[in-house]
Amino acid sequence: MVLKASSKEAYGINMNMTICKKSDPQNCAGESDVTGNTEMLFARLEANTEYYLNLDHKNSIVQLSSFFDCPHVHLRLSMMSENAY
């Protein structure tokens, strides 16, 4: 299966996404680039395997924020079979 994870960020959030195997956190299937307020990650995943999606905000100003509205991230996840096309 192929996973597509995309996010649209606001209020100074620059997020990096990494997807890794739950049983082996050092074995990551994919990583996004910190490109501003839009991120995209593509990864090939194995059947019957658990993964976790790590959202890293280390390049953000979110910790220094004094906004009365919370900074937010919209995530979209989709999967498709590699044999679909």
- Residue 26 maps to a domain: yes
Please state the pTM of the whole predicted model: 0.68
pLDDT tens for the 85 residues of the chain, in order: 888 888 877 666 677 888 888 888 888 888 887 666 777 888 888 889 899 988 887 767 665 656 555 666 788 889 888 776 5
What is the pLDDT, as a whole number, of residue 36?
65
CA–CA separation, 79 vs 58, rounded Å? Answer: 27
Rg (CA), the chain: 14
CA–CA separation, 59 vs 1, rounded Å? Answer: 30
- Tokens representing 22 are 């739950």
In the chain, the number of structural domains is 1
- Residue 29 maps to a domain: yes
- Residue 81 maps to a domain: no
What is the pLDDT, as a whole number, of residue 40?
84
- Residue 82 maps to a domain: no
Which residues span the domain enclosing 17? 2-60
